[in-house]
Amino acid sequence: MSKVFVYGPVPSRRLGRSLGVDLVPYKVCSYDCIYCQLGRTKEKTIERKPYIPAAEILDQLRQKLQEGVSADFITVAGSGEPTLNSEIGPLVHDIKKHTKIPVAVLTNGSLLGDRQVREAIMEADVVLPSLDAYDQPGFEAVNRPHPEISFDTMVQGLMAFRKAYPGEIWLEVFVLDSINAAETDAVQFKHWIEKVNPQKIHVNTAVRPSAEAFARQVAPEEMAKFCKVLGKRAEVIAPFKTSQGHERRAHVEEDLLNLLARRPCTLDDMSSGLRVHRNEILKYIEPLIKAHRIGIVKKGSEVYYRPKDL
């Protein structure tokens, strides 16, 4: 199978049905977050280069759009940190020329201290950066950043981006049980969030399998308390609503494997993201399990599927 850089649509709790665009190979990232659903970082770097040429990505995206795929957002994200790809600016520009579907950039925000990175994503309709800590020790504990990125560089970058960017910023705060989710933590987060001044604050937790077993999910009532401290713009990300309609798809197995390579999914996630009935999905899932191409991971009461070789 040739390399696939465009996948989904993926059911996203933040963006609805999101057509994902991968800008870097699997786990090339400036962080190694303890909660990462893709596992541990393989290449921790801050080197910007055309890891995947923008022209190749755009060709695949054009083809998907010609097939008539529908989505709420085209999301520049994928299997690592997308701003590491030095061609992200021209890519966002070209996507905007080809479609009216809004473009979202999902970034860890670590490189926003670099003016070139800020300028490169200026044309996006919405930018979704992360803020998972409020000081250097917390930053190191949760995000395990590249040694050349400090908490101060990261947070100053977020503030500089806010000043320059006319679009919406939806900030994600990822909280973990016994690590950064207490109300006293929320007070400290609030100090920095007010400086970044995002339109929305999405409070998330480890509902999917994480890189480290000690990165544990926060209970709903604790999430609600944390959110309350952050104020009216903050919300706990609601579970994705299952879509009613189903589409006929030509490449279900290929689409499923591409989706699972980017994130562990439940049966409902796959059904709603790809708009294929659960029973139809099961027809593909069972042989893939028997062939040891995908496996099952349990998290709480949910069953997630993911590729065997991750």
Regarding 32 and contact with ligand SF4 (CB under 6 A), the answer is yes
| Binder among 31, 73, 139, 192 for ligand SF4 (CB under 6 A) | 31
Regarding 172 and contact with ligand SF4 (CB under 6 A), the answer is no
291's tokens: 């062939």
Contact 240, 272 (CB under 8 A): yes
3-state DSSP assignment of residue 135: coil
d(CA 11, CA 269): 6
256's tokens: 């499923």
175's tokens: 């909280």
CA dihedral defined by 65, 68, 69, 70, rounded to 10 degrees?
Answer: 100
Contact 113, 153 (CB under 8 A): yes
Stretch of residues binding ligand SF4 (CB under 6 A), selected from 31-39, 52-60, 180-188, 202-210: 31-39
Least distance in angstroms from the C-beta of 80 to ligand SF4: 5
103-122 mask for ligand SF4 (x: CB under 6 A)?
Answer: -----x--------------
Regarding 24 and contact with ligand SF4 (CB under 6 A), the answer is no
Regarding 80 and contact with ligand SF4 (CB under 6 A), the answer is yes
Regarding 7 and contact with ligand SF4 (CB under 6 A), the answer is no
Residue 174 CA, chain-centre distance (Å), reads: 12
Measure the N-to-C terminal CA separation of the chain; round to a whole number of Å. Answer: 17
Regarding 204 and contact with ligand SF4 (CB under 6 A), the answer is no
Regarding 258 and contact with ligand SF4 (CB under 6 A), the answer is no
Regarding 209 and contact with ligand SF4 (CB under 6 A), the answer is no
Cα dihedral across residues 263, 266, 272, 276: positive or negative: positive
Q: Which lies closer to ligand SF4 via its Cβ, residue 32 or residue 255?
A: 32
Least distance in angstroms from the C-beta of 152 to ligand SF4: 18
Stretch of residues binding ligand SF4 (CB under 6 A), selected from 2-10, 24-32, 85-93, 201-209: 24-32
Stretch of residues binding ligand SF4 (CB under 6 A), selected from 2-10, 36-44, 66-74, 230-238: 36-44
d(CA 205, CA 211): 13
Stretch of residues binding ligand SF4 (CB under 6 A), selected from 28-36, 196-204, 219-227, 261-269: 28-36
| Binder among 33, 92, 154, 176 for ligand SF4 (CB under 6 A) | 33
Question: Which string of DSSP letters, residue by residue, matches 59-114?
Answer: HHHHHHHHTT---SEEEEE-SS-GGGBTTHHHHHHHHHHH-SS-EEEE---TTTTS
Regarding 270 and contact with ligand SF4 (CB under 6 A), the answer is no
Least distance in angstroms from the C-beta of 53 to ligand SF4: 21
Pairing of strands 302-307, 126-128: unpaired
Longest pairwise C-alpha distance within the chain = 53
- How many residues touch ligand SF4 (CB under 6 A)? 10
Q: Which residues pair with 21 in a beta bridge?
A: 6, 76
Regarding 29 and contact with ligand SF4 (CB under 6 A), the answer is yes
Stretch of residues binding ligand SF4 (CB under 6 A), selected from 3-11, 29-37, 156-164, 190-198: 29-37
Regarding 255 and contact with ligand SF4 (CB under 6 A), the answer is no
Type of residue numbered 36: C
Q: Which lies closer to ligand SF4 via its Cβ, residue 11 or residue 285?
A: 11
CA dihedral defined by 121, 127, 130, 136, rounded to 10 degrees?
Answer: 40
- The residue ranges that bind ligand SF4 (CB under 6 A) are 29, 31-33, 36, 38, 41, 80-81, 108
